[in-house]
Every structure is written in C-alpha cells, then in structure tokens.
Amino acid sequence: MNFKLSKYLYYLIFITISVGLISCDDDEDGDVGPVEEPVSIAETIAESPDFTILAEALNKAGLEDMFSGDSTYTVLAPPDDAFINAGITSVDDYSPAELQAMLQYHVFDQSLAYADLDTGSVATLNGPVNFSFFADRFFINGEAEFLQIDVEATNGLIHVIDEVLFPPEKPITTLISEEENLKTLQAVLQRTGLASTLTGAGPYTLFAPTDLAFEILLEDLNVASIDEISTAQLTNILEYHVVNGQEFSTELPFTDVETITGNEFSVTFTDRIVVVDQNPDNENAVIVRDNLLGTNGLVHKIDRVLLPE
C-alpha cells in the first residue's frame, strides 16, 4: 500500500479551515451565524472550489441532471488533488462514455452514511467496490481512504475520498502483460497453461513474482535458464501462487492462506506484508505492489518466488 503524505496534509488543512470557519461565524456575543441549507449533490459539487475537475467530468458525462433530481444517491467524490495525482488534469482526453463509466463507479443508488458502511463489496452503478479495515483505517479497493464523510445534500450524501477509483476493464493475464517487470511470469503462465485459467471468470488473487524474483530462483536452483525447469515443476510452483477469491491486501488474513492446489502459505505484517511459503530454505517474499484490480480478480506483485513444501 502507498500511504501518501499528501492525504495527511489534506486532513490537516481541512481541520484548520473548518476551525477557522467556525470561529469566524461567532460574533462578539457568541451567536452563531445562519446555517446554510443543503442543496443537491450536483450543486454541492459545482459550488465547491475543491471539485472543479469532478464538476467538469459530470457535465461532460451528462450526469448533472441525474444528481440534480429527486432520486437518492451516495457519491464518493475525489477532489482535484486526487484527479491530478491520478494524472487527470483535464477531462478533454476522455469521451463522455469513458467519464460516465468512471464516475458511475463512484456512485451508490441509495443513501449510505459512513456509519452504514461495512467490510465487503457494495454495488455501484458500474460494478462493486470493496470496503475493508486495516490497521484501524477504512479502505476502498484496498487503496483509497475517506477525507470527509456524510456531506449532506437534498438528494443524498457525499463522501470525499483521496483517490480516483477506476473500474476494472481487463483480466488478470492482460494486467500481467502490461507490467514491465512481469515478463518472465507471463511466459511461464503461457508455457504451463495457467494463462487460460487466469483468463476465466474467477475471481482469483495472484501473487505475481517479478522478473528479479525469477532470477533469484534460478540462482538458488543453480540453473541458467527457466527452460531447465520442467513444465510440471513450473506448474506446481505457479499454482502455489494462486488463491481462489478476491483478497485485497487490506483484507488478507494474517494466518494461513489456501491456494488452488490445497497447499498453504502464511501472511504476516510488520511494516510491510510478508508471505511465508512452506520451504524453510527459501527467503520470505514481500508484497512490493498490491491491489492491481482486474475484471476477474487481483494481482499482488512479490519479490520472491514462493515454493511449496
């Protein structure tokens, strides 16, 4: 997980501004000024200086009317900083259909207060998102967090989140092919036939060894090439990296995890997530990048190849 310093600065700035607004509303007699009545979700976003990109996206996607009506929604709203951190400074490069798909992935067709949210999947207008607790923090899809909760509107609620959520569009095998340091894994998946499995419905969670992890394996086995390892051995090894179900890093059980072969490895956590296989001579693996979300599951990149007993 990447815990960004900017999100904590955002918290600090938000608290500071909030305190300032409260103190400014108090006159010398201690009276509090008039409280503004809620407006629609669309108006709330349009009137906020923090949501200029989101407002433009809603407009181009043709969703403003939907959030101005009487139907009730809950919106996970990324501020401008979240869009910029995701590489989106303008909506010009996106079609209305692309923006609509992205934005609907942030919307529930009901009123969901923060207190109503629980761990597990909840359906958005464009597929489910996952909520999970980890280290006393609440995550969306294992990455995004809440910056502000329960902003009331006349037709629902807004929760401000620190990242843009992208709906999954590709299966696990395509995600692997697009990662520069998973080329060996891609070739081995094709050779063993596991690529066809990981293109199926799933969902699966794949602990994906990097190219460097395979180089270390070859050195440990004292072989010059992956071709010197039999297909049967590679199949046995790779199946040990696949878990049935979709397990975000923030919801991994810190205990034994069963693979698709019935073998188990264990997961521990100190300052990082460590995966311990059944081979006492093999160094433990560390998750170096997590929560690559595909249409049929997840990929967590690890820095060692796991070996069954």
Predicted local distance difference test score (pLDDT) of residue 243: 94
Q: From the CB of residue 41, how many other CB atoms can be counted at a distance below 10 Å?
A: 29
List the one residue out of 21, 58, 22, 33 whose CA is nearest residue 43.
Answer: 58
Strands 137-140 and 127-134: antiparallel
Q: How far apart are CA 96 and CA 104, in angstroms?
A: 12
- Which residue type sits at 261? T
Q: How far apart are CA 157 and CA 74, in angstroms?
A: 5
- CATH 2.30.180.10 in the chain: give the residue spans: 5-161, 172-302
Give the E-state strand segments of the chain in sequence order: 73-77, 107-108, 120-124, 127-134, 137-140, 144-153, 156-161, 204-209, 242-244, 256-258, 264-269, 273-276, 285-294, 297-302
The dihedral sign for the CA sequence 215, 171, 163, 128: negative
Q: How far apart are CA 103 and CA 112, in angstroms?
A: 17
Q: How far apart are CA 60 and CA 232, in angstroms?
A: 53
Strands 144-153 and 137-140: antiparallel
Q: What is the CATH T-level fold of the domain 5-161, as seen in this structure?
A: FAS1 domain (2.30.180)
Mean pLDDT (10-residue bins), the chain, 309 residues: 41 40 40 66 96 97 93 97 95 96 97 94 96 90 96 96 96 94 95 91 94 94 91 93 93 84 88 86 91 96 92
User: Before 280, cis peptide (omega within 30)?
Assistant: no
CATH superfamily of this structure's domain 172-302: FAS1 domain (2.30.180.10)
CA 30 to chain centre: 45
Q: How far apart are CA 176 and CA 194, in angstroms?
A: 13
CA 156 to chain centre: 24
Predicted local distance difference test score (pLDDT) of residue 19: 37
Q: How far apart are CA 287 and CA 294, in angstroms?
A: 18
Tens digit of each residue's pLDDT (9 = 90 or more) over 276-299: 888 888 889 999 999 999 999 999
Predicted local distance difference test score (pLDDT) of residue 102: 97
DSSP state of 2: -
Residues 6+ apart with CB under 8 A from 304: 209, 213, 216, 217, 275, 282, 283, 284, 285, 286
